[in-house]
Amino acid sequence: MAHEHIVYMMLVDSAARAGDEDTIRQYAPKLEELALRDQHQPYLGIAHRAWGVAHRLAGEYSEAEQRLEAALEIFEGLGTKWQIGRTIFAMGELALAKSENEAARANFVRAQEMFEEMGAGPDTARTAVALDRIT
């Protein structure tokens, strides 16, 4: 049986990918609490990234940037390339929401390079679609 923090991580991470702000706000506090309690850095990074997505969706850009930067710091410290790429992708989405197209493009290109290096096909394709949206 999956441990509680694994279930919350999966719910929060899936909600962030789907852009489901309500679900993020429901489960991210629980994941963050458990990650802090257990000093589980990967799950804390996922919680930060999800909060960043929720804040972006709510138009709370400063809070979103703070959370995404915190997630990126954790993942870079761990050297988890896929998580780094996913966080940089989220930063691109934030820049796009703020109409900062050049910053968005730079983030998406950086994320795409990481995904291509790892052979992460679905994420590479998703990033290509995001790049195509930029005018």
The SS3 call for residue 40 is coil
Distance, CA of 3 to CA of 111 (rounded, Å)? 31
Domain range for residue 60?
Answer: 1-78
Please, which pLDDT band fits residue 3 given cuts at 50, 70 and 90?
A: confident
- Residue identified by tokens 């257990």 is 38
- pTM of this prediction? 0.95
Our CA angle for 122, 125, 127, nearest 5°, is: 110
Tokens of 53: 């997505």
Provide the number of structural domains found in the chain. Answer: 2
99 and 47 share a domain? no
23 and 37 share a domain? yes
Please, which pLDDT band fits residue 2 given cuts at 50, 70 and 90?
A: low
